[in-house]
Structure 1
């Protein structure tokens, strides 16, 4: 295996402007591993820290609440004194994670968290509030959910490569759980619509780029649905710089759409699981997408130089379930091959260089 430069000028394996990772889906096994060691969740992400930290701004989907001491009745219960007790902190089908996960994500290089997903209301409106509180205390802005009683500001902004970038997350569903206080942004049927929100942000003075983060599609399907494709094109036409999706728990293709005004808009329909305890090859294989910001010939900010790092989840005797760059694992070959079959040839190694 050899590597070639992936930097925008082709001269070096440059630091990317942006990184996007898939679903953080902490099943009971992962929470049990964390509860049994003083480092908690940190070892689960340690092998991938360098890959997440490489970009100036890194974004991922936290699939489920991180609400301190909230039980399945959506009310506070006694502190269990552990990271997993199957009462306050639970796995599938209604997740809730110990809020210490927020600090771990911050420490491994995450900068923005997507909280709009089908498990966002697994601890009700109180769970949404406490999850956002835990993330804020860790220094992590979130997009896609809001606290009860707050103004409906769905986006967050970060400075990236000297530009102001807005991130907007939405979800297709909350698994039938009531969104009566409208705390979770819907991808479909929302008023105002997602394209309208994107159009408004892209026309806002001081915002240079808008990234849509939709939670969408069919679980375990390697192909985007017609509904995904329609929303992706509508987002591009409304002014989105790129669209990076989540939810299917497997990889789906990366494509480039042409917007109504002629811009080239990358769309990653699904980056799969960053971490979970789903062991079939397509579900244990994920990708970290790297993008750079550039200007097109018309002087508009675009997302360019898309490439991806294939990842793989394993369970180790000492550290438990953990996610690693697939290229660093003795068993990583099948995940590398699977990622390239779905996403194409622009895979990078742990050093950020393209794999030949």
Structure 2
């Protein structure tokens, strides 16, 4: 019996040892599996990291190659004179503050959509002088904020009213815009100021501005100040500057002030001067000063199209039929030009006109400076055509006046692209 019991005990011991060995081996296998899975995951992550890093670098190189050899586009928009007559800023005063927001509400979506929006501020801002309208323009400084919020990027100050409040007014005006983040051209604020060049989507755009004169006020300043701060139409200087712009930029835009006020046709001097600018190398001419719009002209030069708009008319003013018996002074145009750059060559690829119209509605009461209070709004005329999105928001008589302005403007511009 004892012998059998010992044999049975020995067998049980062997069985327990086998079970323990199997369990041990199972644990080892499990651990090995976990380890293998962990290594696999780590390797997978490493592989992912490798795939997401190396090709991205290559993709960046490809993108750079496309930027160098591919196609880039940019849109420029420009509009006419911003004239803050005393009745215009008077109507924007509520008894405590000036609010010019309403002036540009309707054109803000369009202006803001441009890659580069150019404005023409005709007047000065000088807090050391009294506010004034024609013939000496001095607007409240807060107009700058409303112009910026409308979407403008750069402002020309090359016009005949820039000296209305003296050299100190010129400098204060330029710095008021710069303080709000807008670029200024058409005047200098220092002796060593270079040509303004904006890099838009990889396209370098030079901006130049010149005025035919300064209302005789230039006779009251020194020759040194004249040469330092002002940009006139001395064609020898203009040629040198345009040629310099062509060296440092892809496209040269000029915004000159010249012509006969209220004339719907460009003068011989305008035509000769602006065509010379194209000969010098200018690509786009956005003209101003007549306070009414004038036709466009396409010039072929070296196999490329150059664009002249002799006058953009007024963007904002109190000049309208009720004050001047002239429907054209309440009309203007926002001109849109598309640029395309390919293989380091930049051309004008499309042109589109957006006629504008100034609405003037009574607000009730009088302004602080003794005028009937009006609300001034620049409207986008295309929105008030019969099927336009704003057609039902105004009385039919007003809508028809805006629609007439649109069609007559498009006929006058006569764009032959």
TM-score range, shorter chain: 0.7 to 0.9
- CA drift at 1:41: 1.1
Higher relative contact order (CA 8 A, sep 6+): 1
Q: Deviations over 1:79-136 (max 9, x none)?
A: xxxxxxxxx1100000011111111111110000000100000001000110011001
Question: Which 4+ stretches in 1 moved above 4 angstroms?
Answer: none
Q: 1:201 aligns with which of 242, 245, 268?
A: 245
**TM value normalised by structure 1:** 0.82
Q: 1:34 aligns with which of 57, 75, 92?
A: 92
Q: 2:404 aligns with which of 334, 340, 352?
A: 334
- Establish whether residue 158 from structure 1 lines up as the match of residue 204 from structure 2: no
Change (3 A) 1:326 1:97: same
Match of 1:108 in 2: 150
Q: Deviations over 1:130-176 (max 9, x none)?
A: 001100111011001122xx225363121223211110011001011
Q: Deviations over 1:49-101 (max 9, x none)?
A: 1121121110010001122x222xxxxxxxxxxxxxxxx11000000111111
- CA drift at 1:295: 4.5
Q: Deviations over 1:190-242 (max 9, x none)?
A: 6x5212210111023xx211111101111101111111111211111111121
Q: Deviations over 1:31-56 (max 9, x none)?
A: 10112375611111111111211211
Unaligned runs of 5+ residues in structure 1 are: 1-14, 72-87, 348-356
Q: 2:375 aligns with which of 301, 309, 320?
A: 320
Match of 2:393 in 1: none
Match of 1:176 in 2: 216
Larger Rg: 2
- CA drift at 1:266: 0.4
Q: 2:80 aligns with which of 7, 22, 25?
A: 22
- Establish whether residue 308 from structure 1 lines up as the match of residue 330 from structure 2: no
Match of 1:273 in 2: 314
Q: CA RMSD in A?
A: 2.1
- SS of residue matched to 2:207: strand
Pick the structure with more helix per residue.
2
- CA drift at 1:346: 8.1
1:219-230 alignment, distance < 5 Å: 219-230=261-272
- SS of residue matched to 1:59: strand
- SS of residue matched to 1:89: coil
Q: Distance in 1 between matches of 2:348 and 2:155?
A: 20
**TM value normalised by structure 2:** 0.70
- CA drift at 1:317: 3.5
- SS of residue matched to 2:105: helix
- SS of residue matched to 1:98: coil
- Establish whether residue 122 from structure 1 lines up as the match of residue 180 from structure 2: no
Q: Deviations over 1:297-334 (max 9, x none)?
A: x9632223111101000112457011111133423112
Q: How many residues align?
A: 308
- SS of residue matched to 2:107: helix
Q: Distance in 1 between matches of 2:208 and 2:149?
A: 23
Q: Distance in 1 between matches of 2:80 and 2:296?
A: 13
